[in-house]
Amino acid sequence: MACSTQFFLAIVLLFALTSVWAQPSPQVQKRISQAIKAAANATGDIDYTQFVNVFIGTDNDGDVCPGASIPFGMVKFTTDLTGYAPAGYITDNTQTVRGMSPLHDSGTGAGSGSYGNFEVMPLLCPGGFDTCTTSVEARERFRKNNTDDASPGYFSLTLDNGIQLEATSTRRAGLERFTFPKKSKPFLVLDLANDLPGTFAGGSMTIDPTKGRITMGGLWGSSWGPGRFNYEAFACYDLLNGGNQTLDEFGVWTADTNGLDAKGLGMTQLNFTRNLIGGVYESGALVSFQGTPETITVRVGVSFSSADQACANAESEIGDASFEDIVAQSKALWNEKLSKIELDLAHTPLNVTEMFYSSLYRAFLTPNNATDEVQGPFVGTTHHYFDSLYCSWDTFRTFYPLMALTSPVEFSQIVDSYIDAWRVHGWMPECRANHLRGWTQGGSSGDVIVGHFAMTYHDEAAALGIDLNDLYSALLADADQTPPNWDIEGREAGVYNQFGFVPASALETNSVGRQTREGSRTLEYSFEDFAIRNVALLLNKTSDFETFNNRSLNYRNVFDSSVKSDGFAGFMQKRFMNGTFTFTDPVACSPIDNVSRSCSLQDDNVVGFYESSSWEYSWFVPHDTAHLIQLMGGNDTFVKRLDHFFEKGYYYAGNEPSFQTPIGYHYANHPTQSVDRVRDVVFSNFDITPAGIPGNDDQAAMATLLAFHLLGLYPVPGSTELLVVSPFTPKYTVHNSFLNVSTTVTTQGFDARSVQQTIPKGAAAYVANVTINGARLASRCHFDFYDVFKTGGDIIIEVTADKSAVDDCGASLPMSVSTGGFSVAR
Ligand SMILES: *[C@@H]1O[C@H](CO)[C@@H](O)[C@H](O)[C@H]1NC(C)=O
Ligand SMILES: *[C@@H]1O[C@H](CO)[C@@H](O)[C@H](O)[C@H]1NC(C)=O
Ligand SMILES: *[C@@H]1O[C@H](CO)[C@@H](O)[C@H](O)[C@H]1NC(C)=O
Ligand SMILES: *[C@@H]1O[C@H](CO)[C@@H](O)[C@H](O)[C@H]1NC(C)=O
Ligand SMILES: *[C@@H]1O[C@H](CO)[C@@H](O)[C@H](O)[C@H]1NC(C)=O
Ligand SMILES: *[C@@H]1O[C@H](CO)[C@@H](O)[C@H](O)[C@H]1NC(C)=O
Ligand SMILES: *[C@@H]1O[C@H](CO)[C@@H](O)[C@H](O)[C@H]1NC(C)=O
Ligand SMILES: *[C@@H]1O[C@H](CO)[C@@H](O)[C@H](O)[C@H]1NC(C)=O
Ligand SMILES: *[C@@H]1O[C@H](CO)[C@@H](O)[C@H](O)[C@H]1NC(C)=O
Ligand SMILES: *[C@@H]1O[C@H](CO)[C@@H](O)[C@H](O)[C@H]1NC(C)=O
Ligand SMILES: *[C@@H]1O[C@H](CO)[C@@H](O)[C@H](O)[C@H]1NC(C)=O
Ligand SMILES: *[C@@H]1O[C@H](CO)[C@@H](O)[C@H](O)[C@H]1NC(C)=O
């Protein structure tokens, strides 16, 4: 999800360029650069975690969480800062820290943030217990500049009073270590109520001073969904570090922003219902330790089912293990994931290596594996459960296709969770946030995700625990059943299927939802229908195939050939039930739109598109671009229009509907222009700094887009087709341990000079020939997942500097439905 502040991006960027980085520590980049250089000549096992810069995307609204996490960890441990910090942490050193907490999401554009519950803040209270600054505002502190440090499985930050906060984690638990200045008495304030969006709706806490254990739990609200839905969360803090620390004082506190500041020394219970008037409650525990130990280590378990489960999670996942043990365990789990794609480290440009492994890291950071940690209607499920599926509109394009290359087991578990939501709710999740149903963006994009799984792993589906019949039933439910409220699941299916487009001003008599984004919803629904069409083909559902094949062409119904903009004719537009188009300026809601208006989920978004302009969304027909080219006036006009789109500034790299547009030239038989465009897009929007991604990471949508660009491939989601662009590295190997196969891609003729924004004359980068397992392909532009990634083998992508000699696809263009493409399910 792109956040609603996206159109202030330009301003933020200007600010970012002129500010001096004060976080993280400069040692972080130095360490990574040294490791990448040293790896060139390394022998033996490579520690890939060394190449990961977890701070990429922690500024410029990237909303990345750099906290300690294992792959798909439910716990992502980081500090919570003031200001715009949806993932808790941001580099901006003008903001203050109010504590460190175990639950976060990475990359989401939920403006006021997600999770951040159960904060702990270390304090120095020279005046004693009653003088401690316990309230949220009073305890905030600046950081020491240039000291934040983190790497996969480890996070550290130092406050301006010299206290260092460190964390490491397992799936559902973690250790926090606080290092105090010499000779000071350690105090910790624990927060029962506060979360990032400030949604506490009641909860309770118990201190057991003998055990040194504090349990707490409560209700909070969604970060991206209806405010009337609440989720439950629980934590269990163990304060004695296996008996090596001794509690001194303990008690409770409450506070508000108007002067309430009360403490109860020796009290052990809090129990609150929802506060119905006034602001959010502030409350929690306050403890001190005997003596002046320099370090205090606390263990925490979290759970979404009960406080007892939270304690059990800490006991089973951490037990007596030391901080260093848990860091090492986490690092090993990360290496298992990161080594799934091995770059030729000696010959890959250093920044490419860092961008690549940092992206791959984020590709395994979310969604959050909350299997066995379910609540509400999911209680009792025997299926996997993943939280933070927000939103499918963001992730179907590149996230799951990357997963298909390397990680069918993890992919199948997430697909299992999507299908289970259909069993429980009747529709698959579109935006699951904080265990709750969140706002729908484009439609039922989960269809493309589970469809992509079916197309790539149908032969292994049963072994992977997926019943294709259930998968198919879930697809049909999304496509045909109108939910009572399509704002939180499913589609506005009735009228869409009746009219062949989502009509503006539709007459709905037994379902509700926001009647906006009619143009973009039609485009997304019809692409989702393409994914269903493919699964119908796969499963020999002949009549469904015909239905969904037709529906996949519904994009045509919102194409208004009479609309002109900048001399180009034909744009997607919204349309009434009687068929009349309603004009919106195609520039509206583009990055260069100078009129202030609503472009997101607001009820006064009248442009017909979601977080995009018609200029941007009019390209979105990935399954039938051949026909789109015809509609837009032929190949030459299409290419000129693409050039104009980029040159004029309508393109927004940080927005999902724009992801495949740079490769649009392939479809007009000019693949070298896609190569030039992708180099430009990468180097003008991505780098290795905290501001190094162009928008919200959106649950690694952005990270996986960049990963595909660097690998020189681009996926057509919901299908098995891959487009060939031009790798940024001379060689890489993709391992698929479930299939027990490896695929090595060699860029023959690779010239490192081509790896920059503008490919210089004479630098080879343009694809001349593609050879798979010794056989030269007839097309330079595309191949199929089954040609090689399914069986393993070698791909040789031969590149040349002679652009004009190779500026065509050869025997075949990438596929389109209307020219006979996608006619076989492999
Ligand atoms: C790696 O080895 C090559 C020669 O084999 C040498 O030129 C280069 O300096 C070495 N690089 C590093 C980082 O040690
Ligand atoms: C951090 O550096 C900024 C300048 O970038 C300065 O204004 C601020 O006072 C410093 N903060 C601390 C805690 O030293
Ligand atoms: C507690 O201290 C003992 C003795 O120093 C040490 O062996 C043990 O590992 C410590 N326990 C923890 C949990 O740190
Ligand atoms: C908290 O109070 C409610 C009544 O408001 C009661 O039902 C509940 O059992 C109490 N919980 C605890 C943990 O004491
Ligand atoms: C690598 O990234 C850094 C930081 O963005 C940049 O200063 C440097 O120019 C980049 N190097 C190359 C070769 O692109
Ligand atoms: C999720 O957690 C479950 C339970 O521990 C585990 O079996 C599964 O492998 C995990 N999956 C991923 C993708 O982390
Ligand atoms: C679909 O039909 C083809 C050809 O008859 C057959 O090989 C394949 O097994 C069938 N697939 C399914 C899922 O029934
Ligand atoms: C699909 O579209 C074709 C051409 O418009 C039409 O003849 C056919 O009846 C449609 N099939 C279905 C199942 O809607
Ligand atoms: C179609 O419906 C719209 C909205 O009700 C109306 O403004 C328009 O005039 C109608 N067009 C025709 C041709 O009736
Ligand atoms: C807004 O953009 C239009 C078209 O680019 C331009 O003519 C107009 O002067 C701009 N208006 C403002 C207030 O910048
Ligand atoms: C675009 O070019 C391709 C390849 O030359 C050709 O097959 C196709 O018909 C052209 N499209 C149009 C609309 O002219
Ligand atoms: C592509 O490969 C063929 C067969 O090996 C070769 O004849 C041809 O020269 C190659 N094309 C280019 C542009 O390198």
pLDDT at 1: 53
CA separation for the pair 521, 543 (Å, rounded): 25
Find out whether the beta carbon of 578 lies less than 6 Å from any atom of ligand 9: yes
Ligand 12: which of 672, 724, 769, 806 to mutate, judged by most atoms within 8 Å of the beta carbon? 769
Ligand 5, closest atom to CA 756? 14
Residue 437 scores a pLDDT above 90: yes
351, with CB counted inside 10 A (0-12, 13-18, 19+), is middle
Domain-located, residue 42: no
Q: For the chain, what is the mean pLDDT?
A: 96
CA 145 to ligand 2 center in whole angstroms: 6
CATH number at residue 103: 2.70.98.10
Angle at 370 between CA 708 and CA 447, to 5 degrees: 50
Rounded to the nearest whole angstrom, what is the distance from the C-alpha of residue 359 to the centroid of ligand 4?
45
Q: Residue 715's pLDDT band (boundaries 50, 70, 90)?
A: very high
Contact 415, 449 (CB under 8 A): yes
> Cα(773) to centroid of ligand 12, in Å?
16
The verdict on the CB of residue 540 being under 6 Å from ligand 7 is yes
Q: Which atom of ligand 7 lies closest to the CA of 468? A: 13
Q: Would you give the DSSP letter of residue 389?
A: B
What is the residue with the minimal CA distance to atom 5 of ligand 6? Answer: 371
Specify if 671 maps to a domain: yes
Ligand nearest the Cα of residue 550 is 8
How far apart (Å, rounded) are the C-alpha atoms in residues 84 and 221? Answer: 18
**Residue 134 contacts residue 214 (beta carbons within 8 Å):** no
Q: Ligand 2 centre from 90 Cα, in Å?
A: 15
Residue 201 DSSP SS3: coil
Q: Which atom of ligand 11 is nearest to the CA of 635?
A: 1
Give yes or no: residues 591 and 483 share one domain. yes
Residues 6+ positions from 441 with CB-CB distance below 8 Å: 1, 391, 392, 393, 394, 430, 431, 601, 610, 611
Among 335, 369, 395, where does a domain finish? 335
The DSSP result for 127-181, as a single string, is T-GGG---SHHHH-BPBPTT--EEETTEEEEEBTTS-EEEEEE-SSEEEEEEEPP
Strand order across the beta sheet in which 203-208 lies = 149-151, 154-158, 164-169, 173-179, 295-303, 230-238, 213-221, 203-208, 269-272
pLDDT bracket for residue 10 (50, 70, 90): very low
Residue 15 near ligand 2, beta carbon < 6 Å: no
583 lines ligand 9 (CB under 6 A): no
Tell me the pLDDT band of 93, cut-offs 50, 70 and 90: very high
- Looking from the CA of residue 349, the nearest atom of ligand 5 is 13
Same domain, 548 and 468: yes
350 C-alpha vs ligand 5 centroid, how far in Å? 9
Q: Indicate if 297 and 392 belong to the same structural domain.
A: no
Nearest CA to ligand 4 atom 12: 271
Q: What average pLDDT score do residues 266-290 get?
A: 93
Is residue 528 within 8 A of residue 448, CB to CB? The reply is yes
Work out the average pLDDT over 358-383: 98
Render pLDDT for 537-568 as a digit per residue (tens, 0 to 9): 999 999 999 999 999 999 999 999 999 999 99
Task: Kindly state whether residues 703 and 564 are assigned to the same domain.
Answer: yes
Please determine, for residue 414, whether its predicted confidence score (pLDDT) is greater than 90: yes
CA of 595 to the centre of ligand 10 (A): 8
The pTM is what? 0.96
My answer on whether 673 and 739 are in the same domain is yes
42 lines ligand 1 (CB under 6 A): no
- pLDDT of 12 above 70: no
pLDDT at 15: 43
From CA 125, how far away is CA 295, in angstroms rounded?
16
Report the pLDDT value the prediction gives residue 770, as an integer from 0 to 100.
98
Ligand 1: atom nearest CA of 37 is: 13
**Strand segments (E) across 550-703:** 559-565, 568-572, 574-575, 581-582
Confirm or reject: Cβ of 8 under 6 Å from ligand 2.
Answer: no
Q: Is the dihedral of CA 497, 499, 504, 509 positive or negative?
A: negative
| Last residue in a domain, options 335, 361, 396 | 335
Ligand 11, residues 627, 629, 630, 815: which to mutate, most atoms within 8 A of Cβ? Answer: 629
| Residue 413 Cβ contacting ligand 6 at under 6 Å | yes
330 and 388 share a domain? Answer: no
Q: Looking at the structure, do residues 585 and 676 belong to the same domain, yes or no?
A: yes
Does 622 lie in the same domain as 682?
A: yes
pLDDT at 4: 39
Query: Which residue type does 808 have?
Result: D
Q: What separation in Å is there between the alpha carbon of 38 and the centre of ligand 1?
A: 8
User: Which atom belonging to ligand 8 lies closest to the Cα atom of 549?
Assistant: 1
Q: Are residue 408 and residue 518 in the same domain, yes or no?
A: yes
Ligand closest to Cα of 298 equals: 3
Residue with CA closest to ligand 3 atom 7: 244
Q: What's the mean pLDDT in 257-283? A: 92
Return the pLDDT at 21: 61
Cross-strand pairs, 746:
731, 796
Helix axis angle for 542-551 and 468-480, nearest 10°, is 40
Ligand located closest to 574 CA: 9
- At 769-810, the pLDDT tens digits run 999 999 999 999 999 999 999 999 999 999 999 999 999 999
Among the bound ligands, the one closest to the CA of 582: 9
Same domain, 270 and 400: no
Q: Of ligand 3's atoms, which has the minimum distance to the CA of residue 320?
A: 13
- What is the domain-level CATH number for residue 586? 1.20.1610.10
| pLDDT of res. 8 | 33
**The token pair that represents 408 in the structure block:** 């069918």
pLDDT (mean) for 166-192: 98
**Angstrom distance (rounded) from CA 82 to CA 92:** 10
How far apart CA 109 and CA 685 sit, in angstroms, is 18
Closest residue by CA, ligand 5 atom 10: 351
Asked if residue 87 is part of any domain, the answer here is yes
On whether both 211 and 92 belong to a single domain, the answer is yes
**Strand pairing partners for 389?**
432
Which residues line ligand 11 at a C-beta cut-off of 6 Å?
A: 629-630, 634-635, 668-669, 813
List pLDDT tens digits, range 120-143. 999 999 999 999 999 999 999 999
Does the CB atom of residue 665 touch ligand 6 within 6 A? no
Report yes or no on 342 lying in a domain.
Answer: no
Residue 776 token pair:
């030269």
Separation between Cα atoms, residue 407 and residue 735, nearest integer Å: 9
Ligand 12 cavity residues, CB under 6 Å? 768-769, 776, 798, 800, 805-806
- For ligand 7, the distance from its centroid to the CA atom of residue 825, given in whole angstroms, is 10
Distance 411 CA to ligand 11 centre (A): 37
Position 31 in a domain = no
User: Residue of the nearest CA to atom 11 in ligand 12?
Assistant: 768
Asked if 163 contacts 186 with a C-beta cutoff of 8 angstroms, the reply is no
pLDDT of residue 5: 37
Domain count, the chain: 2
Do 309 and 410 belong to one domain?
no
Structural domain containing residue 325: 61-335
Residue 321: how many CB atoms within 10 A of its CB?
17
Over residues 360-383, the mean pLDDT reads: 98
- Residue 26 located in a structural domain: no
Ligand 9 pocket test: which of 499, 574, 576, 577 has the largest number of ligand atoms within 8 Å of its C-beta?
576
User: Could you tell me if residue 30 is inside a domain?
Assistant: no
Residue nearest (by alpha carbon) to ligand 9 atom 9? 580
Query: Does 14 have pLDDT greater than 60?
Result: no
pLDDT at 16 over 90: no
Residues 203, 219: contact at Cβ < 8 Å? Answer: yes
Domain boundary among 298, 315, 335: 335
Interval between CA 437 and ligand 6 midpoint (Å)? 22
Is residue 341 predicted with pLDDT exceeding 90? yes
What is the mean predicted confidence (pLDDT) over 224-230? 94
Spacing, Cα 814 to ligand 11 middle (Å): 12
Pocket of ligand 4 (CB under 6 A): 204, 271, 273
Q: Is 745 helix (H, G, I), strand (E, B) or coil?
A: strand
User: For the ranges 7-16, 226-235, 313-322, 757-766, which has the lowest average pLDDT?
Assistant: 7-16
Ligand nearest to the CA of 56: 5
CB 108 within 8 A of CB 699: yes
Residue 458 CA, ligand 7 centroid: distance in Å: 12
564-603 b/e (C-beta count within 10 Å ≥ 16 → b): ebeebebbbbbbeeeeebeebbbbbbbbebeeeeebbbee
Instruction: Let me know if residue 18 belongs to a domain.
Output: no
Helices (H), 577-634: 614-617, 625-631
